[in-house]
Amino acid sequence: MDAILRVVVFIFICSVFTVQVEGANFFCSYYNKTCTNTTHPPPNQNTTYCGNDGKTYHGMCAYFRASCSRNVTVVATGVHCENKIPTRAPPTSPPPLTYFEINLYHSITRNIDDRLELSKARGISPAKAKPIFSRQDHVNKTYIRNPDCWAYGLDLTPISPWNSNHGIRKAGTLVSKRHMLWARHYGIPVDSTIRFVDLHNNVVERKVAGIRYVNHSSTGHETFWGRDIVVGVLDKDVPDSISFAKVMPKGIDTFRPRRDTRLPVMSTDFEEKALVTDFSYYMNTGIGLRTPDVHSLEHDYYESKIVGDSGNPSFFIIKDELVLLFVFTSGGAGGGTSINHYYDEINRLMKEEGGDYQLTPVDLSTFGLPGKTLPHLIG
């Protein structure tokens, strides 16, 4: 019972400490009304209170008398002050954004939001603005790009809309004129046909000539989590009418903006819609997105990722260019394996597969101060 009483007293005292205005008057009033009443003395007079003045006070009344006269507060209880009372750390402000972060965040945000705002101003509903193609006839190889898509005008030719293994599912994305990335757990086998569509709706097809797993174990007993990337090589280069996606610079190995920073990401699903989700982080092997705020413009162009969307790409749009971050492993807002974590290994696998191609980093040097190197950590 004594332990329970102490807890109640501690809570009561701690709640008092949060009131700084006229605090001393409260303690004086309580002392005068309660502690001077010898007929009904206050409970818990056997507790030792340790003040912030370095002294100990036996009983609540002794402490209240000190608090009344000298504004003493309790920092612990117990004969040896062994029961410390937790104190809340003073609030701290997050560090201000760097010059580089301000410019980078502005580019990432405006490259998508400006397009969404323009689409809305044109009176195009999100339902009509999300499809990349207004027509997809996979049997007859007829594709018409949708001029009402909010991303129309961006070069989306690195994104394959169809393959012979699983049709509109099992997506792949070009990162060179001959190499693609897709999800390991939803893979495209060798000899499959991969289809691309150029900006003038002409179809280009290539065969998968080889595949290599990122961070592959020779034992064969391994999970795809944290290594859900396949590097596929095509039988020959795609023509110049088909582009490839760039990636973030190798040196930026951690990207974790503050929670109140909303950076839009463009993703596709198996229906070939241009969807918008907020970036969360990439760090170590992992990368994740988060649902846009329900009151935001981006939320109108958001959809949860579902079965069949695995392997579809997610991009920052920087300087009107696709910058590939990862391909989907998980649903909801979406998450997967960080390309930047495996930057060197992907380059090694690309080289081993042939073609002398490597990942191409987006140029972010113009966002920083002259002569400054890029940071390894953003956020």
> Residue 302 — very low, low, confident or very high, per pLDDT cuts 50/70/90?
very high
For residue 23, pLDDT beyond 60: no
- Give the fold, CATH level 3, of 99-378: Thrombin, subunit H (2.40.10)
Q: Which residues pair with 268 in a beta bridge?
A: 274
pLDDT of 252: 95
Question: Could you give the C-alpha distances from 29 to 67, 74, 160, 317, in angstroms and in order?
Answer: 11, 18, 77, 64
For residue 92, the 8-state DSSP code is -
Six-digit token pair at 96? Answer: 């201000």
H runs (alpha helix) in 43-98: 60-70
Query: Which region among 99-108, 163-172, 210-219, 341-350 has the lowest average model confidence (pLDDT)?
Result: 210-219
> Looking at the DSSP assignment, which residues form a beta bridge with residue 231?
181, 212
How far is the CA of 235 from the CAs of 25, 190, 209, 241, in angstroms? 85, 10, 5, 17
Angle in degrees, 0-180, between the axes of helices 23-30 and 60-70, rounded to the nearest 10: 140
pLDDT exceeds 90 at position 90: no
Whole-structure pTM over 0.85, yes or no? Answer: no
Q: What is the pLDDT of residue 58?
A: 84
Contacts for 145-149: CB closer than 8 Å, 24+ residues apart: 145/197, 145/199, 145/201, 148/119, 148/122, 148/124, 149/274
Q: State which amino acid sits at residue 264.
A: P
Which tens digits make up the pLDDT trace of 164-184? 999 999 999 999 999 999 999
Q: Kindly calculate the radius of gyration of the chain based on its CA atoms and give it in whole angstroms.
A: 31
Once rounded to an integer, what is the mean pLDDT over residues 354-371? 92
Tell whether the model's pLDDT for residue 323 goes beyond 80: yes
What would the mean pLDDT of 49-63 be, rounded to a whole number? 83
CA 29/CA 23 separation, integer angstroms:
10
Domain 2-84 has CATH 1.10.12: no
> In whole angstroms, what is the distance from residue 298 CA to residue 302 CA?
7
Strands 203-213 and 230-234: antiparallel
DSSP 332: B
Q: How many other C-beta atoms can be found within 10 angstroms of the C-beta atom of residue 223?
A: 10
Half-sphere exposure of 294 (CA within 13 A, CB side): 0
Instruction: Say if residue 198's pLDDT is above 90.
Output: yes
- Tell whether the model's pLDDT for residue 368 goes beyond 60: yes
Give me the residue label for tokens 């696709």. Answer: 322
Token pair of 18 as six digits? 């949060």
> Average model confidence (pLDDT) for the chain?
86
Asked if pLDDT for residue 237 goes beyond 80, the answer is: yes
- What three-state secondary structure class fits 341? helix
pLDDT of residue 13 exceeding 50, the answer is no
Intrachain domains 2-84 and 99-378 with the same fold: no
Domain spans in the chain, listed from the N-terminal domain onward: 2-84, 99-378
